[in-house]
Structure 1
Amino acid sequence: MNLEIINDDQVLPAEREQWITDLVAYAANRLDLPADTEMSISLITDEKIREINREYRDKDRVTDVISFAIEDDEDSDLPNFDELAAELEIPRNIGDLFIAPNHVREQAKEYEHSFDREFGYTVVHGFLHLNGYDHIEPEDEKVMIKLQEEILDGYGLKR
């Protein structure tokens, strides 16, 4: 897994970036993704995630994670990126996550989880969205949440 972590505002200590990389690699391995699959995670302030949420989702509030999957829209006129990547022999890029660690920290307190558990949940949840999983329909939610818990438990982030 080729993961770029952008932590320009230093909202998390730089040494935590390896932990994120390891968790994403574990999740990617669980989904059997090709080793050269690409994505990015931007660690940003609450103010920045609120701006993104307002601009792209019409929700004027802070949230923990926003995902922008490249292969998100089935009705798009864009080419099938999986097929295009294979044809051109380039890595598949699944998209970008924007995470607000300070908001995740607040949620960890609210849900009485450790920061690691809540942050891991946030990373894996967003990662699964980038890979086409969703929780809008009850049946899809069951599949996504089950897989999410299996990844977190397997990585050692049990409730």
Structure 2
Amino acid sequence: MSLQLDWSNEQQKMDIPEQWIGKLEELLKLAGEAEGMDSGEVTLTFTDNEGIHQLNRDYRGIDRPTDVLSFAMLDDGTDELDIIFEVESEDEADPISGMLGDIVISVEKALEQSEEYGHSLEREIGFLFVHGFLHLIGYDHEDEAGEAEMTAKQEAVLQKAGLTR
């Protein structure tokens, strides 16, 4: 199995160009290689500020829109219910094994930020996607060291993919 990207577009502001999906698949592969990962599945949803605002409020208790949210399947399980999957036969696979998690990006917020930072929307969405992926696999930026580490990893992947500022 390789790293797989499933995606959906739940916002109405713009169509997502097929070439962007190809670039996001490339970013997933490059980020995975950098982290020694060669398999797993990531689900990406494009939404608008209203949609991500609701998720941010409901799941993080923060009542405002944000640019990207990540919902990791690879968690320590603290305060989580166990998922029990009953197999009918030994050949049947666990339907969630290999799932790394979900990334949600607000296209509206990404557009605002791309204009603010003076680079393309494609680069901003790529940045947010890699940022979300790193969160899925356990990275965080709660302190300066964590933020510096994530920033360096993100920039290295974006450079390799040709998404520079």
Q: Please give the residue correspondences for 1:108-119 in structure 2 after superposition, counting only pairs within 5 Å.
A: 108-119=114-125
Per the TM alignment, residue 9 of structure 1 is displaced from its structure 2 partner at its CA by: 3.8
Q: Please give the residue correspondences for 1:5-154 in structure 2 after superposition, counting only pairs within 5 Å.
A: 5-9=7-11, 11-15=14-18, 16-35=20-39, 37-73=40-76, 75-76=78-79, 91-154=97-160
Stretches of structure 2 lacking an aligned partner (at least 5 in a row): 83-91
Per the TM alignment, residue 77 of structure 1 is displaced from its structure 2 partner at its CA by: 5.8
Q: Matched residues in 2 for 1:12 and 1:133: separation?
A: 30
TM-aligned CA distance change 1:73 to 1:64, over 3 Å = same
In structure 2, the partner of 1:82 is: none
Stretches of structure 1 lacking an aligned partner (at least 5 in a row): 80-87
Q: State the TM-score, normalized to the length of structure 2.
A: 0.80
Runs of 4+ in 1 over 6 A off after TM superposition: none
TM-aligned CA distance change 1:132 to 1:9, over 3 Å = same
Letter in structure 2 aligned against 1:5: W
Number of residue pairs aligned between Structure 1 and Structure 2: 150
1:158 aligns with 2:164: yes
Letter in structure 1 aligned against 2:120: S
Higher Cα Rg, which structure: 2
In structure 2, the partner of 1:3 is: 5
In structure 2, the partner of 1:84 is: none
Cα distance per residue 1:64-121 (max 9 Å; x no partner): 1011112234634667xxxxxxxx9764211100111121011111111221221111
In structure 1, the partner of 2:86 is: none
Higher helix share: 1
- Three-state SS of the structure 2 residue aligned to 1:97 is strand
Q: Matched residues in 2 for 1:128 and 1:77: separation?
A: 21
Per the TM alignment, residue 56 of structure 1 is displaced from its structure 2 partner at its CA by: 1.0
- Three-state SS of the structure 1 residue aligned to 2:33 is helix
Per the TM alignment, residue 14 of structure 1 is displaced from its structure 2 partner at its CA by: 4.5
Per the TM alignment, residue 138 of structure 1 is displaced from its structure 2 partner at its CA by: 2.1
